[in-house]
Amino acid sequence: MVDRTNEAGFSEGNPVIIEARDSARGVAAEYEWIEARFGERDQAWRFVMQKLLRGPAGQWLDTIEIKLAEGSSMQLFFDISSFFGAFSAMDSEEDDDDEGGITIGEIMRKKDASR
């Protein structure tokens, strides 16, 4: 197994920094990075899950788990602090159920529907 922890995107301590004005652009940038790195979604890899967490420096991280076509899984880390405001309904440690927030899957379904 290749150790990628020093590469951007492969650890909480070294996330890919996404600069965007809003969540739609930010999420699109995350998926563009993944496709540039691993190939086309649903062919070279598929989405498994997404979660939001605080990084070691207190920044907001979007963690996306994917499964590659060859069978291995990996977690990717994105610093989404620049556009996290669109997710403010989820910005509460007391509210762990994401109700009222928007998920990456919902944004991607809307993006796919607009194609």
- Domain limits for position 75: 1-88
Torsion of CA 46, 86, 13, 78, to 10 degrees: 30
Q: Look at residue 44 and tell me if it is in a domain.
A: yes
Domain count across the chain: 1
* Greater pLDDT, 2 or 36: 36
pLDDT in tens, 70-83: 999 999 999 999 98
Say what the pLDDT of residue 83 is.
Answer: 87
Sheet of 45-54, strands arranged across: 16-17, 73-79, 60-68, 45-54
> Considering only CA atoms, which of 64, 60, 89, 66 is closest in space to residue 77?
64
**Tokens 């607009």 map to which residue?**
114
Q: Look at residue 39 and tell me if it is in a domain.
A: yes
Q: Look at residue 103 and tell me if it is in a domain.
A: no
